[in-house]
Amino acid sequence: MTTAGDIMHRGAQWIPANETLDRAAQLMRDLGVGALPISDQNERLCGILTDRDIVIGCVAMGRDPSKVTAGDMAQGTPRWIDANADITEVLREMKEHQIRRLPVIENKRLVGMISEADLAQHLSEKQIGQWAESVYARTAAPTTH
């Protein structure tokens, strides 16, 4: 059985909800990622911040990224998966919620992230095609998470 822990990329890092978007962008650059899980003061997941969120939700709106926080951008109920979850559960969660990045939690701690690239490395072409069709085809305005 392939699990979320088997396919995730390790080294995911939280961005505190009170951190500004300019700092979040710098952290994304330094880590080479396009998304960061947002944590509250107790390191509980409260959202995911993407590079697109910063551009569309802040910069394009004329807002100052040095004054807007990651927590200001957190919307909806954050989705995550347990590290021991089977790959079919990972795919179901991503399909049902039309998300492209999924934090992986183990013992209430962030241990990794699963992205489209991780799926592409571990799934067959048929599985990737079915996943992409379900995530991209059903949404008029794609979610960036």
pLDDT level of residue 124 (50, 70, 90 thresholds): confident
Separation between Cα atoms, residue 17 and residue 13, nearest integer Å: 13
How many Cα atoms are found within 13 Å in the side-chain-facing hemisphere of 143?
24
Burial bucket for residue 98 (CB in 10 Å: 0-12, 13-18, 19+): middle
Task: Tell me the β-bridge partners of 37.
Answer: 48
The model's pLDDT over 52-109, given as tens digits with 9 standing for 90+, comes to 999 999 999 999 999 999 999 987 788 999 999 998 899 899 988 888 899 999 988 8
The model's pLDDT over 35-47, given as tens digits with 9 standing for 90+, comes to 999 998 888 899 9
| Domain 4-137 bears CATH identifier 3.10.580.10 | yes
Separation between Cα atoms, residue 44 and residue 54, nearest integer Å: 21
Question: pTM of the entire structure?
Answer: 0.80
Cβ-proximal residues to 65 (8 Å cutoff; 6+ apart), any chain:
20, 21, 22, 25, 54, 58, 59
